[in-house]
């Protein structure tokens, strides 16, 4: 023991640090894991987190406790995750809003989505869909853009609120198509969809679930989905990329992040386990039934994807002058 102490002193390693590394070296996890979801129960992030959490519990033999911390566009849940102990027993399922768009639209954000978190794994992506009232004289996106260019400022787009994915998606479309539309924010995606059906607004570019029933019933006309691939839910609806606006992609996405300082060994282990889970046909099928597409990749892949998302939305928010 004396020899070990002399060695540790000579190399600058403390007994406490060695003890801590031995704790991390033990089998992980050896107690319940908390997973914060910074959005409401039943939404895309919550559904994905609960599905993946159940599979992790089955695979690892420990509970993965899903805790919804809602409010302020994902800020409250993200702050709680930032403050959590970085010991491998605290994670957050961040989303496009909480871990990308918020950086672009808030002048002062109490956390840094990149610097304050360690990327772990991109679970899934979900397209937005751009829809109009069928009474409008436009059968596709090109015809709608032509209408908007003919009468700049005449047409409006609805969203579920300032700074939401639907708001920024439409601003992105305005930017890339070179059109002028007036933003009309509503208190949620469902009222925004109903506004287009009622003719109060002309366009909505938001999440699939609230729009799909009305598209299938004929109350809404779908112009395009915002992923680079067509949605299995709407196989006959082209992507905006296909419609002539190359590279256009605006997606809702959900990913595991850990508080800054979480051991790399645990992040690597969890990422590999999540990759195995995501490859299971039943998991992929369940993710697709909620209107999303399985993603995957390494922590480095997620880091690059998140960085690209942040830069894209900063550019869109700056041009559109969106600031909260």
CATH number for 185: 3.40.190.10
Mean pLDDT for the stretch of residues 111-123:
97
- pLDDT of 26 reads 61
| pLDDT tens track for 73-88 | 789 999 999 999 999 9
197 and 153 in one domain? yes
Q: Looking at the domain assignment, is residue 316 inside a domain?
A: yes
Q: Which of 37-51, 78-92, 96-110 comes out lowest in average pLDDT? A: 37-51
| 113 and 256 part of one domain | yes
Is residue 235 in a domain? Answer: no
Q: Same structural domain for residues 50 and 196?
A: no
CB environment 284-293: b (16+ within 10 A), e (fewer): bebbeebbbb
- pLDDT value at 313 more than 50: yes
**Mean local confidence (pLDDT), 156-184:** 91
Asked if residue 132 belongs to a domain, the reply is: yes
| 180-206 tens-digit pLDDT | 999 999 877 889 999 999 999 999 998
Q: Same domain, yes or no, for 257 and 276?
A: yes
Query: If pLDDT is split at 50, 70 and 90, which confidence band does 45 have?
Result: confident
pLDDT of residue 222: 97
Domain identity same for 198 and 272: no
Q: Is residue 41 part of a domain?
A: yes
Whether residue 107 is found in the same domain as residue 256? yes
State whether 135 and 270 are in the same domain: no
The domain boundary, picked from 168, 190, 225, lies at 225
Q: Specify the higher pLDDT residue, 129 or 8.
A: 129
Instruction: Assess whether 73 and 140 both reside in one domain.
Output: no
Residue 9 has pLDDT above 90, yes or no: no
Answer yes or no: is 5 within a domain.
no
Domain final residue, candidates 179, 209, 225: 225
Give the CATH number, domain containing residue 96. 3.40.190.150
Instruction: For residues 51 and 189, state if they share a domain.
Output: no
| Residue 110: inside a domain | yes
Find the mean pLDDT for residues 60-80. Answer: 91
By the 8 A CB rule, do 50 and 66 touch?
A: yes
Q: Are both 157 and 299 inside the same structural domain? A: no
Q: Which of 225, 260, 276 is the last residue of a domain?
A: 225
285 within domain boundaries? yes
Look at residue 21 and tell me whether its pLDDT is greater than 60: no
**In the chain, how many domains are there?**
2
Task: Specify the pLDDT at position 92.
Answer: 98
Domain that holds residue 287: 33-126+252-320
Q: Tell me if 2 is assigned to some domain.
A: no
Mean of pLDDT over the chain:
89
Confidence of residue 44 (pLDDT cuts 50, 70, 90): confident
pLDDT at 18: 42
Number of other residues whose CB lies within 10 A of the CB of residue 156: 17
Q: Based on the fold, state whether residues 221 and 290 are members of the same structural domain.
A: no
pLDDT higher than threshold 70 for residue 22: no
109 and 145 within one domain: no
- 279-301, pLDDT tens digit by residue? 999 999 999 877 788 999 999 99
């Amino acid at each position: 023991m004396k020899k070990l102490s002399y060695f540790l002193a000579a190399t600058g390693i403390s007994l406490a640090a060695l003890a801590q590394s031995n704790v991390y070296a033990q089998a992980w996890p050896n107690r319940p894991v908390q997973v914060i979801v910074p959005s409401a129960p039943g939404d895309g992030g919550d559904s994905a987190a609960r599905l993946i959490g159940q599979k992790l519990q089955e695979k690892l033999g420990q509970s993965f406790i899903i805790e919804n911390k809602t409010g302020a566009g994902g800020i409250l849940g993200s702050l709680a995750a930032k403050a959590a102990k970085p010991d491998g027993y605290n994670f957050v399922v961040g989303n496009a809003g909480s871990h990308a768009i918020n950086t672009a639209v808030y002048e002062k954000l109490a956390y840094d989505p990149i610097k304050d978190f360690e990327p772990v794994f991109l679970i899934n992506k979900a397209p937005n869909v751009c829809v109009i009232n069928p009474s409008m004289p436009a059968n596709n996106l090109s015809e709608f853009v032509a209408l908007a260019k003919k009468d700049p400022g005449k047409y409006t787009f609805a969203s579920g609120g300032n700074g939401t994915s639907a708001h920024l998606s439409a601003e992105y479309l305005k930017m890339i198509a070179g059109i002028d539309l007036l933003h009309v924010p509503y208190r949620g995606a469902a009222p925004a969809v109903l506004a287009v059906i009622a003719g109060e607004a002309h366009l909505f570019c938001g999440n699939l679930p609230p729009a799909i029933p009305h598209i299938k019933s004929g109350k809404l006309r779908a112009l395009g989905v915002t992923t680079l691939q067509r949605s299995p839910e709407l196989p006959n609806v082209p992507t905006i990329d296909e419609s002539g606006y190359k590279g256009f992609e605006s997606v809702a996405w959900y990913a595991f992040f850990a508080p800054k300082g979480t051991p790399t060994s645990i992040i690597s282990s969890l990422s590999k386990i999540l990759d195995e889970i995501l490859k299971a046909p039943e998991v992929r099928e369940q993710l697709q039934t909620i209107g999303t597409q399985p993603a995957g990749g390494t922590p480095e892949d997620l880091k690059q994807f998140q960085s690209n998302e942040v830069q894209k939305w900063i550019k869109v928010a700056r041009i559109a002058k969106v600031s909260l």
